[in-house]
Amino acid sequence: MTDYRDETTTTTTTTGPAQPNVTVVERRGGGGGLIIGLLVLIAVCVGAYFLFVQSNSEVRKNNAVAGAAQDVGDAAKDVGDAAKKAVD
């Protein structure tokens, strides 16, 4: 918010001309920008947290699928070995 104040005092001296009027402009901040900045920072932190949690969930799911695939591969190898022994 900007306040305009016009000081209209004119001083006349005996040795010179009248002094000019002086306009003083005072600027005051309401603090709204600070509040908006804090809200944006909080929103970014919350979004980063949810992305981090989702990423960990995806990693756990991928590890579980890889473990299951490894178990299936081991079982297939065992079946193949058993079939070889049955032929011999």
What lies within 8 Å, CB to CB, of 23 at 6+ separation is 4, 5, 6, 7
SS3 content of the chain, % helix, strand, coil (to 5): 65, 15, 25
For the stretch 8-32, pLDDT in tens is 555 555 565 666 777 777 777 777 8
How many structural domains is the chain composed of? 1
For the stretch 52-86, pLDDT in tens is 888 788 888 888 999 999 999 888 888 888 888 88
Instruction: Give residue 7's domain range.
Output: 2-87
For the stretch 40-51, pLDDT in tens is 999 999 999 988
Q: Are 25 and 4 in contact (CB under 8 A)?
A: yes
User: Which single residue is written with the structure tokens 């306009």?
Assistant: 23
Q: What is the pTM of this model?
A: 0.42
